[in-house]
Structure 1
Amino acid sequence: MHLNQLIQLRQELHQSPEIAGEEGKTASKILSFISKLNPDEIIENLGGSGLAFIFKGKSPGPRTLFRAELDALPIQETGNPSYKSTIDGKAHLCGHDGHMTIICGLGEKIAENRPEKGEVVLLFQPAEETGEGARRILDDPKFERIKPDYAYALHNLPGFPLHQVVVRKGTFAAGSTGMTISLTGKTSHAAHPEAGINPANALMHLIQTLPNLPNHFKNFALVTIIHAELGSLAFGTSAGKGSLSVTIRAFDQQDLDGLIERAIAEAKGIAKIEKLGVKFSLVESFAVSKNDPKAAEIAESAMKDLAMDISQKAEPFRWSEDFGLFSQSCPSYLFGLGSGENCPQLHEPTYDFPDELIETGVMVFEKIARKINS
């Protein structure tokens, strides 16, 4: 593994971020890097700008997939690394540049020493940040060619000691969905509100009741109000429309689905009482990231063999990861890699992926691959 080349690649990716749905140039950089390693098969335009590289073993066996994310965030970088983002209002502030580089480093290791059996697949998925990429990958007919027996991914974690692996059996990260409830009544003159139908009462009711819906569930669940709108700033007018946006999250997929259903039922009920039309929009849907016991056993055995500092997380993380959807289609395992106690948090404008983690990430992934495919 040529660490200096990998660090250079990571910093080049950092300089040229592309957000969800626009990852074409990033995919080209990855394609150029891994093509030189002579994979046995390359799949392009997977679920959009996604890429998969297949390295075949000498004999039949399990197919192991390792995933990284192509997309950056629509946030202005305010830190000042020498390789600062050159794209205004866009930056790699979640570490996907580092995750991609780790998978590229894994590719070098696998190319140097091919699997004994089965296949190792390196997957680069688009649109992780919007929760759309994994669904597009899984729905693409080309996915059948790489459908894995095991799938693995990592995420760097600020606030945890550098190089520490953070693991958890069962749910690793929450599932979440963004919901907008649009209410339509009838606009009228502000002097004659009785002539119209104003959604204000319904909005107030939902603002008070929706955050309490998680009380009906025994596991962790949460409804967070993120935006509310009523009418327009016209003092002569009584509002005829309004909307409320919330983020719904839970540690259990059934709870998440049930909570969404309850929120919809609550909104439909108050809309009927207030004689309002109601519509729902669901966006940025992330499945619960659930770690498979067998996949976990293999990974954690690899970490022990490497004498790594392992931290068992008591509770799942409240944030969501698009990798969760893979756990519904095959045995999957997501783990964390500490990026330092003083590292700025993910999505902060001064965040930058620590290059020291590249070698650590490659080491863990390679050890997992050898356990399954050797």
Structure 2
Amino acid sequence: MSPIDRIRTYAGELTALRHDIHAHPEIGFEEVRTSNLVAELLQGYGIEVHRGLGGTGVVGVLRGRSDNGRRIGLRAELDALPIEEATNLPYRSTVPGKMHACGHDGHTTMLVGAARYLAETRAFDGTAVFVFQPAEEGLGGARAMIRDGLFERFPVDEIYALHNAPNGPHGRLKTRPGPIMAAADFFDIRVQGRGAHAAEPQRGVDPIVVATALAQAMQSIVSRNADPLKSCVVSITQIHAGAAYNVIPESAHLAGTVRTFDGDVREVAALRIRELARGLAAAYGAEIEVEIRDVFSVLDNSAEQAAAAAEVATELFGAENVEADCVPRMGSEDFADMVMAVPGAYAWLGGTPGPGLHNASFNFDDSIIPLGSAYLARLVERRTAA
């Protein structure tokens, strides 16, 4: 029986698990219920469980039929997003303002499914290490686990992760050697002006005018400062200022993100944000404070592991459902920090096309759970035999 067929025999239990996690979302470093649920399931399968890495992370260790020294890591994310769910699903979020809008509930479920399969079959040599990571959504969960000694306590030769792709095609796996997802910086820019009556603007320094001028100027970074042959995105995603119709406020706040694949472009973007802020502060007589934070590194797949991922997917899904040199994406993933520590590969698995990631109407495609679980489990079987 193929791993897909075997896992399909308990796909109903996995789907119920996914719905349970979806109904009880927890955002970064708050995943107490979710991590407890995962730990209890792993223990029930006879897997050695370690808790508390990176705060709420869980690591499972499973030894195969013999020990040849090979150790393969598999990683999934536990956290949800601060989004109010807009679906009417029977298992919709029961927590106001929180939702699994990226599919981490599905990824966790797929890794649990892989762990169960491997624990029941033990058709592998070496050791499987299951990493359930907290706080992937921009809060540094991978870095927290690494700081807590993830790879010192649980060394692996290589590590793999999988993400759903709601744009489809259904059942197609995409990966590539080299950069597959962008680096990300988050920025906060605080403009300090001088408040005044809205009817007497000459008595103040309007921070809204300064903030909007800066927002416009920052769009020139991509078009006029970044190398046009190298990708760069500068997105302002928040502007906050004021609380009344007839008051010029004291301050304004802009926030957003920069996405790049190239270190030089990343430095240019950060430099220009600071230079534009200084220039506009002088021009308008305001004060501007800029904070730029390195949140995600470039996710750079190791060539050998990307080839292994494609090979396993071809075996399971057929060559027509594997794209081994896909186009990189400007999204970011902190699995990047794990593959900077050990060789590894990241891949996308297509679901039935529907609302996109981080959308209030998103719903993970349960039909790909057995596919993802089988893919992760087969990686352990094949790579421990290497």
Q: Give me the TM-score of the superposition, normalised by structure 2.
A: 0.86
Aligned to 1:363: 374
Q: Note the C-alpha offset of 1:288.
A: 2.1
3-state DSSP class of the match of 1:177?
strand
Kindly provide the CA deviation profile for residues 230-271 of structure 1, in whole angstroms up to 9, marking residues without a partner as x. 555363x65543332232112335533442233223323433
**2:348 counterpart of 1:336:** yes
Q: Note the C-alpha offset of 1:37.
A: 1.7
3-state DSSP class of the match of 2:26?
coil
Q: How many residues are matched?
A: 371
Q: Which amino acid aligns with 1:304?
A: T
- Counterpart selection for 1:266 from 273, 276, 281: 276
Q: Note the C-alpha offset of 1:274.
A: 4.4
Aligned to 1:50: 57
Q: Note the C-alpha offset of 1:204.
A: 4.2
Q: Which amino acid aligns with 2:352?
A: G
Q: Note the C-alpha offset of 1:118.
A: 3.7
Aligned to 1:153: 161
**2:34 counterpart of 1:29:** no
Q: Which amino acid aligns with 1:54?
A: V
3-state DSSP class of the match of 2:295?
strand
Q: Note the C-alpha offset of 1:287.
A: 2.3
Q: Distance in 2 between matches of 1:331 and 1:255?
A: 25
Q: Is the 8 A contact 2:239 2:254 kept in 1?
A: yes
CA 208–139 in structure 1, closer or farther in 2 if over 3 Å, else same = same
Aligned to 1:63: 71
Q: Which amino acid aligns with 1:36?
A: G
Q: Note the C-alpha offset of 1:313.
A: 5.8
Q: Is the 8 A contact 2:310 2:323 kept in 1?
A: no
**2:336 counterpart of 1:324:** yes
Aligned to 2:239: 228
Q: Distance in 2 between matches of 1:111 and 1:98?
A: 20
Aligned to 1:95: 103
Q: Is the 8 A contact 1:131 1:284 kept in 2?
A: no
3-state DSSP class of the match of 1:271?
helix
**2:323 counterpart of 1:311:** yes
Aligned to 1:141: 149
CA 200–100 in structure 1, closer or farther in 2 if over 3 Å, else same = closer
**2:85 counterpart of 1:77:** yes
Q: Which amino acid aligns with 1:293?
A: A
Aligned to 2:112: 104
Q: Distance in 2 between matches of 1:16 and 1:204?
A: 39
Aligned to 1:348: 359
CA 186–349 in structure 1, closer or farther in 2 if over 3 Å, else same = closer
Q: Is the 8 A contact 2:270 2:292 kept in 1?
A: no
Task: Spell out the pairing of 1:119-198 with structure 2 (5 A cutoff).
Answer: 119-187=127-195, 196-198=204-206
Task: Spell out the pairing of 1:196-207 with structure 2 (5 A cutoff).
Answer: 196-199=204-207, 202-207=210-215
Q: Distance in 2 between matches of 1:234 and 1:8?
A: 50
Q: Is the 8 A contact 1:211 1:222 kept in 2?
A: no
Q: Which amino acid aligns with 2:55?
A: G
3-state DSSP class of the match of 2:323?
strand
CA 257–53 in structure 1, closer or farther in 2 if over 3 Å, else same = farther
3-state DSSP class of the match of 2:219?
helix
Q: Distance in 2 between matches of 1:344 and 1:273?
A: 44
Identity %: 31
Q: Is the 8 A contact 2:125 2:381 kept in 1?
A: no
**2:255 counterpart of 1:248:** no
Q: Distance in 1 between matches of 2:143 and 2:104?
A: 18
3-state DSSP class of the match of 1:356?
helix
Q: Which amino acid aligns with 2:191?
A: L
Q: Unaligned regions of 5+ residues in structure 1, if any?
A: none
Q: Note the C-alpha offset of 1:173.
A: 1.9
Q: Distance in 1 between matches of 2:198 and 2:20?
A: 57
Q: Distance in 2 between matches of 1:158 and 1:116?
A: 32
Q: Note the C-alpha offset of 1:138.
A: 1.6
- Residues 192-201 or 253-262, more deviating: 192-201
Q: Which amino acid aligns with 2:50?
A: I
3-state DSSP class of the match of 2:366?
coil
Q: Note the C-alpha offset of 1:214.
A: 2.0
Q: Which amino acid aligns with 2:59?
A: A
- Counterpart selection for 2:218 from 190, 210, 216: 210
Q: Unaligned regions of 5+ residues in structure 2, if any?
A: 1-6
